[in-house]
Amino acid sequence: MRLFVAVFPPPEAVDHLAAVVESLAVGRARARVTPTERWHLTLAFLGEVPDESAGPAALAVSAVEGPVGDLRIRGGGKFGHGRSTLLWAGVDGDVDGLTRVGRAVRRELRARRLHPDDKRFAPHLTIARPGDRIGHPDLTADLTALRDYTGPTWPVTELVLVHSELGPHPSYTPLAHHPL
């Protein structure tokens, strides 16, 4: 099973950003926009692990203490070029608190002999994977709109352990919720 630990923005923050994404060229072209129910901030990615790792992972998440102050979705940009272009929305607010919680999650996972990836924490929501499906002028306009975006503030209330399934119809299944 493929696991990660995340924070999901509340519906009002997601809806606010979704309205902007729909107005972007990537949204109008439906160029592989990530479904809003999958917009999240990854704190720790475990990747493929044996099924029996879900229990220890849930215990690790439940051992983490907050708090994290308010966040908001703000700004954005792109990773990759050409066919591998990905658009993201950034986060501001209590990013330091979110970073501390992310470190604690990773520490608790390692204490249970689970091995999250070692990528540098850069909180963002992946909003689309357009690749080369939109032209450069449209991509530039979308990036300008994302850079200027500021959403509503929201409290971080829980961590979620998620089982993700890849394929033609990717899905996320929450396995454990831990209030902060």
Digit-coded pLDDT (tens) for 82-100: 888 999 999 999 999 999 9
Going along the chain from its start, the domains and CATH numbers come out as 2-179 (3.90.1140.10)
Q: Are 72 and 153 in contact, with CB atoms under 8 Å apart?
A: yes
Q: What is the CA radius of gyration of the chain?
A: 16
| pLDDT for position 137 | 94
Percent of the chain with pLDDT over 90: 89
User: What stretches of 126-173 show up as alpha helix (H) in DSSP?
Assistant: 136-147
Mean pLDDT of all residues belonging to the chain: 95
The backbone region for 47, taken as left when phi is positive above 0, alpha when psi lies in -120 to 50, beta otherwise, is: left
